[in-house]
Amino acid sequence: MPDLSNLRALVFDVFGTVVDWRTSVAREVETLARKRGLAVDALAVADAWRGLYAPSLATVRDGGRPFVDLDVLHRESLDALAGPHGLDSLGDEDRVDLVSAWHRLDPWPDVVEGLTRLKRRFILGPLSNGHLALQVGIAKRVGLPWDAILSTDLFRTYKPDPAAYLGACQLLALEPSRVLLVAAHNNDLAAARALGLRTGFVARNEHGPGQAKDLAAESDWDVIAADFIDLATKLGA
Amino acid sequence: MPDLSNLRALVFDVFGTVVDWRTSVAREVETLARKRGLAVDALAVADAWRGLYAPSLATVRDGGRPFVDLDVLHRESLDALAGPHGLDSLGDEDRVDLVSAWHRLDPWPDVVEGLTRLKRRFILGPLSNGHLALQVGIAKRVGLPWDAILSTDLFRTYKPDPAAYLGACQLLALEPSRVLLVAAHNNDLAAARALGLRTGFVARNEHGPGQAKDLAAESDWDVIAADFIDLATKLGA
């Protein structure tokens, strides 16, 4: 492992890395569908919803669209998938409620214990495309012990825009080399490394049995850990 | 007390309201002066330093100066007062260290207990002119349980610029009426109320025996509390 003695802050990707969005969203879809007497494949809805995520971010990040937060993008994606997935009869109130399911995602089982240990030694914050209000919602519900929320809405863009990573370092008043991004996504880590941040990979099975990518580290990231508890151990926390 | 059943978030002024800057800064001035063999009136240094605070903010907020954070302003103020206060012989490293004393301010004795109670019921964050890195420094050292840091550097301005109060509400995705500012300063609360935020006053003797203002509430603020524990009780937390 490279010398990380100068490390001061850990920033975390959230969807997939910290929280299990797929099971959490599917659970809320299932509950609502049952209440409305709709037959849906809830996991397929979650997968389709997440499938529209990257292209929706790109409309803002690369498409010159004025910044809108992830609730807006999630709502547009839900409206697009509702028809094909048997949710077309859902009214506005139900759709607003489903969009807010992304504020109520459960962490992976190792997360709270791992973060609690890491917090003793490092500044911790989410560096997520989910906006500040969404991050506060997730964290407060399950007790994620963040020191600061460093969501990309603060910079009115989305990862992997360099402005997001560098903006987080600037707010923390730390050189990028003193900040480590923890992510379950190799492309997120590659973007961070290119800007001088440190990198930590944790493999997550966020997509279920069909997951085809990010099953393992694809580069010599500064730390590669089995989960957040292992990460804490490897970082001496 | 007005109906506050809709309240979701409490945002806090920090210098004076959450932390006792005067005693904390004087302590560090005293320690450094002794180490360097300088005779100084440490409380007078703290008072003079804080005296330059409001005018220094105004150079950015009202003067059209590009945004600089409070470390920069604190350093300029320190350089200005060093001569008259017997600190002219301090080198750059000592001055950097003294500026960082503002990241190591002690909370008033009721703060941690009060915030811990309030956190069970409300989203909590500092809404301070001290930047995010400074707020993280203060909070981590003494365990302030913030949910998010809402410092005014996020908006590249300083209170009482309306953009600071409204920016915090926007990041929390809350109507101003669902956000209450807690402050020991009547003018801060007046600025917040004018924008529709709720207001809570806690009297603090931040200036020591010579304090001439903010000894009591000067308006019918939504809550008036003796300290943060009383505030928690009054807000049902």
pLDDT tens, residue by residue, A224-233: 999 999 999 9
The yes-or-no verdict on residue A64 having pLDDT over 90 is no
Could you say which of 1.10.150.240, 3.40.109.10, 3.30.980.20, 1.10.287.110 is the CATH number of the domain covering B22-103? 1.10.150.240
Predicted confidence (pLDDT) per residue in B198-231, tens digit: 999 999 999 999 899 999 999 999 999 999 999 9
Stretch B169-197: mean pLDDT, rounded?
98
Is the Cβ pair A132, B148 closer than 8 Å? Answer: yes
Q: How far is B131 from chain A (nearest CA, A)?
A: 8
CB contact under 8 A, A147 and B140: yes
φ, ψ dihedrals at B42, nearest 5°:
-65, -40
Question: Are the CB atoms for B40 and B33 separated by under 8 Å?
Answer: yes
List pLDDT tens digits, range B143-175.
999 999 999 999 999 999 999 999 999 999 999
Q: Does A74 touch chain B (CB under 8 A)?
A: no
Q: How is the beta sheet containing B198-202 ordered, strand by strand? A: B123-126, B9-12, B179-183, B198-202, B223-225
Nearest to A33 by CA among A84, A81, A89: A89
Contact: A148, B154; criterion CB under 8 Å: no
Q: What is the mean pLDDT of residues A112-128?
A: 98
**3-class DSSP assignment, residue A224:** strand
- Parts of chain A belonging to CATH 1.10.150.240: 22-103
Is the pLDDT score of B1 beyond 80? no
Which helix (H) or strand (E) element contains residue B191? Answer: helix B186-194
State whether A148 and B135 contact (CB < 8 Å): yes
Query: Residue A194: pLDDT above 90?
Result: yes
Mean pLDDT rounded to a whole number for chain B: 97
Count each helix (H run) and each strand (E run) in chain B, helices first. Answer: 10, 5
Contact (Cβ atoms closer than 8 angstroms) between residue A94 and residue A36: yes
- The average pLDDT across B69-94 equals 98
Which own/partner pairs from A182-185 qualify as long-range (CB within 8 Å, at least 24 positions apart)? A182/A10, A182/A11, A182/A12, A182/A13, A182/A17, A182/A228, A182/A231, A183/A12, A183/A13, A183/A17, A184/A13, A184/A16, A184/A17, A184/A214, A185/A13, A185/A16, A185/A17, A185/A214
Smallest Cα–Cα separation from B82: which of B70, B71, B98? Answer: B98
Exposed, middle or buried, B4 (CB in 10 Å: 0-12/13-18/19+)?
A: middle
Please list every residue in chain A whose beta carbon sits closer than 8 Å to the beta carbon of residue B171: 131-133, 153-154
The closest of A52, A50, A173, A184 to A123, measured between CA atoms, is A173
Residues from chain B that touch A99, judged by Cβ atoms under 8 A, are none
β partners of residue A223 = A200
The pLDDT of residue A134 is above 80: yes
Running DSSP on this structure, what letter comes out for residue B67? Answer: P
Mean pLDDT of chain A: 97
Query: How is domain B9-20+105-234 classified at the architecture level of CATH?
Result: 3-Layer(aba) Sandwich (3.40)
pLDDT for position B63: 83
pLDDT of residue A8: 98
In this prediction, residue A178 has a pLDDT band, given cuts at 50, 70 and 90, of: very high
The pLDDT > 70 percentage for chain A reads 100
Enter the pTM of the model: 0.97
Judge whether B152 is closer than 8 Å to chain A, CB to CB.
no
Q: Which residues contact B148 (CB under 8 A, 6 or more apart)?
A: A132, A135, A136, A146, A148, A149, B123, B125, B171, B172
Q: Tell me the C-alpha distance between A30 and A50, whole Å.
A: 16
Strand order in the sheet with A198-202: A123-126, A9-12, A179-183, A198-202, A223-225
The DSSP code for B121 is T
Q: Return the structure tokens found at B101.
A: 């004393």
Rounded average pLDDT over B77-100: 98
- Write down the ipTM of this complex: 0.96
Percent of chain A's residues with pLDDT above 90: 97
Q: How far apart are CA B220 and CA B237, in angstroms?
A: 22
Cross-chain residue pair B171–A148, CB shorter than 8 Å:
no
CATH 3.40.50.1000 in chain B is located at: 9-20+105-234
**Nearest Cα residue to A82 out of A44, A54, A56:** A44
Look at residue B49 in the predicted model and tell me its pLDDT: 98
Single-letter code of the amino acid located at B220: D
Residue type, B43: L
* Average pLDDT of span A111-138: 98
Could you tell me if A72 lies within 8 Å of chain B, comparing CB atoms? Answer: no
- For A71-105, the pLDDT digits (tens) are 999 999 999 999 999 999 999 999 999 999 999 99
| Residue B78: band (very low, low, confident or very high) from pLDDT cuts 50, 70, 90 | very high
A173 CB neighbours in chain B (<8 A) are: 69, 71, 131, 133
Sign of CA dihedral B133, B135, B140, B141: positive
Q: Which chain A positions have a beta carbon within 8 Å of B146's beta carbon?
A: 147-148
| 3-state class (DSSP) for residue B128 | coil
| Contact assessment for residue A17 and residue A1, using Cβ atoms and an 8 Å cutoff | no
Tell whether the model's pLDDT for residue A13 goes beyond 80: yes
Contact across the interface for A172 and B132, Cβ inside 8 Å: yes
In a mutagenesis test of the B interface, which of A72, A123, A147, A153 is the best target, namely the one with the most B β-carbons within 10 Å?
A: A147
Distance in angstroms (rounded) separating the CA atoms of residues A103 and A137: 5
Given a cut of 80, whether residue A1 has pLDDT beyond it is: no
3-state secondary structure B152-173: HHHHCCCCCCHHHHHHHHHHHC
What's the gap in Å between the CA of B146 and the closest CA on chain A?
7
DSSP H or E run through B202:
strand B198-202
Three-state SS sequence of A35-97: HCCCCCCHHHHHHHHHHCHHHHHHHHHCCCCCCCCHHHHHHHHHHHHHCCCCCCCCCHHHHHH
Cross-chain Cβ contact B133/A71 below 8 Å: no
Which of B131, B139, B153 lies closest to A147 in CB terms?
A: B139
Average pLDDT for B119-126: 98
CB contacts, 8 Å: B69 with chain A: 173
